[in-house]
Chains A and B, each alone.
Chain A
Amino acid sequence: EAGVTQSPTHLIKTRGQQVTLRCSPISGHTSVYWYQQALGLGLQFLLWYDEGEERNRGNFPPRFSGRQFPNYSSELNVNALELEDSALYLCASSSDRFTQYFGPGTRLTVL
């Protein structure tokens, strides 16, 4: 069974640009979670999608947004990139809202 996949693996952008990160959950999983792990900081919850709807979001500004598609894959969009957005962005999927399976992450560098 394929695990959670994320693309791209690495990304370099400049301040003010926009970025889209993608996540494909494990087949059959309807929930997708997005997390940010900035250098030296712990994981921070970003967004939770379930059955195509945004169920909850963490304490992040509105320029962080996303969506979940009918096939349960998900995108995370970040507008007006700032230097402090440089981080590892992790996606996880779940079928029961309890056990999460993490993807390998996308490492975003903002210059």
Chain B
Amino acid sequence: KNEVEQSPQNLTAQEGEFITINCSYSVGISALHWLQQHPGGGIVSLFMLSSGKKKHGRLIATINIQEKHSSLHITASHPRDSAVYICAVNTGNQFYFGTGTSLTVIP
């Protein structure tokens, strides 16, 4: 069993749709990260969370420590949001990664 599970694996949305990507983890963590990986491999760190909710532009990330669950929301999705979104958890000693959610936003 993976320490970090993401769903869905693949997601196709129409431009403008509200998108939710989910992440569940099974280990004790000090922080959870949401990463964005574009074709070609470049990775950008979107959020680091240890509690509550963070918002940056059209992106919102939430975490429920008790339920060991986090969600990444994208409002008013745009084709440039097309990428792989990866959930990662930091246990203090190591990082564990989900396998990613591949998002395609169609104009």
Contacts and interface: CB of A to CB of B under 8 A. Distances in A.
Given A98-B30, A98-B48, A42 B100 contact: yes
A109 interface: no
Q: Tell me whether chain A's interface is mostly helix, strand or loop, or mixed.
A: strand
Interface in B44-91: 44-45, 48, 86, 88, 90
Interface SS of chain B: helix, strand, loop or mixed?
strand
Given A102-B43, A105-B41, A42 B86 contact: yes
B38 to A, nearest CB: 11
Contacts of A104: 41-42
Contacts of B86: 42-43
Contacts, number: 52
Contacts of B45: 99-102
Q: How large is the interface on B (under 10, 10 to 19, 20 to 34, 35 or more residues)?
A: 20 to 34
A102 B44 contact: yes
A41 B42 contact: no
A58 interface: yes
A102 B77 CA distance: 24
A105 B94 CA distance: 19
A41 B48 contact: no
Interface in A53-97: 55-56, 58, 88, 90, 92, 97
A102 B31 contact: no
A43 B88 contact: yes
Contacts of B97: 35, 42-45
B41 A88 contact: yes
A98 B90 contact: yes
10 pairs of A and B residues whose beta carbons are closest in the complex: A42-B99, A102-B43, A43-B97, A105-B41, A42-B97, A88-B41, A98-B31, A45-B95, A56-B93, A99-B48
28 contacts: A35-B97, A41-B99, A42-B97, A42-B99, A43-B86, A43-B88, A43-B97, A45-B94, A45-B95, A45-B96, A56-B93, A56-B94, A90-B41, A90-B43, A97-B90, A97-B92, A98-B30, A98-B31, A98-B48, A98-B90, A99-B45, A99-B48, A100-B95, A102-B42, A102-B43, A102-B44, A105-B41, A105-B42
